[in-house]
Chains A and B, each alone.
Chain A
Amino acid sequence: MTTDTNQIAGTASSTRVATGLFALVLGAFFVWGAGFAHSAALHDTAHDVRHAFGFPCH
């Protein structure tokens, strides 16, 4: 699997689901950090982006 260029459908579906879930959680973690975390440092850094995306802010 690591050396062969498998197509997505060719890989075992359990691996596919695991990768999908991993990507979903990692992506949600990123978005949470940039858009939702209550930390003052993160809020102030991402302030303009939070407003720009319409995330609830303040």
Chain B
Amino acid sequence: MLVRYLLAALAAGLFVGVLMTPIHYLKLVPLIEHAEVYEQGGHGIAPTHEHQASLVSSAYAHGLSNHQAGRVILVHGPAAAGGEEEGDASLFESRALGTLTANLVTGAGFALMLGAVALLTGHRITLRTGALWGLAGFAAISLAPALGLPPELPAMPVADLSTRQIWWIMTVVMTAAGLYCLVLRRQPVVRAGGALLLVVPHLFAAPHPADLSSPIPPTLAAEFAVASLATGALFWVLLGLSLGAAMDRYVGAEA
């Protein structure tokens, strides 16, 4: 029953999306909000000054007033240009509601895609193999692109958005194809090709800006990059397990 298959994947994705929202709020959103303090107030200030400040809450003392109205570059172009409320064009009043919605949509999307890959390659995701499928998703969609484009905070120096998105998508597609050839195929030639596919994206340098100076303290950026990858790993393992459980329960037991 393929409709049941799709619904099971959808349910697993939505479930994990709900589950991830408090985890994001525990570990990631505070770091993003912290970075936004630097984004709104601290850009263009001599880095030494910023680094003197203690890392944590004293950053909030660096309000706009503190900075002799320094050169403020709002990285959120469209948002800062003035939307409905506080220059925010978000679909929801509440930031948490937006995060929850985005998590639901992202979870459902990745669940459908992971389920689709299993269906197209003729494999079944079960509770027993779910974590492995999830880890493969993590490798392709979090880990490999993070090697070239580490998870970034607002206000960090970045290259052109579209160029980065193209590099990201290229890396994800090649890593996923490489993993497929390496793990699910038997022929040595195909496996060698798969290993090559894993390496190739990293031979093309990911787009980086010429000027790397950043208002974000490096410690904050490092903390966020690690937290983002760890949260990503958790998301993918949970997604794989939920997909497996949903398949076991709602779709026939045998592939």
Whether A8 and B119, one on each chain, are in contact in the complex, defined by CB atoms closer than 8 angstroms, is yes
- CB-contacts of B65-115 with A (<8 A): 75-79, 83, 88-92, 95, 98-99, 101-103, 105-106, 108-115
Whether A57 and B152, one on each chain, are in contact in the complex, defined by CB atoms closer than 8 angstroms, is yes
Q: Bound complex: CA of A51 vs CA of B149, how far in Å?
A: 12
Stretch at the interface among B24-32, B42-50, B188-196: B24-32
Report chain A residues within 8 Å CB of B2: 8, 11, 15-16, 19
Interface of A is mostly: helix
Whether B120 and A20, one on each chain, are in contact in the complex, defined by CB atoms closer than 8 angstroms, is yes
Say whether, besides A23-B113, A34-B106, A51 and B119 are in contact (CB < 8 Å). Answer: no
B61 at the interface (CB under 8 A from A): no
Which B residues contact A (CB, under 8 angstroms)? 1-2, 5-6, 9, 24, 28-29, 32, 75-79, 83, 88-92, 95, 98-99, 101-103, 105-106, 108-117, 119-120, 122, 124, 141-142, 145-146, 149-154, 158, 161, 164-165, 168, 224, 228-229, 231-232, 235, 251-252, 254-255
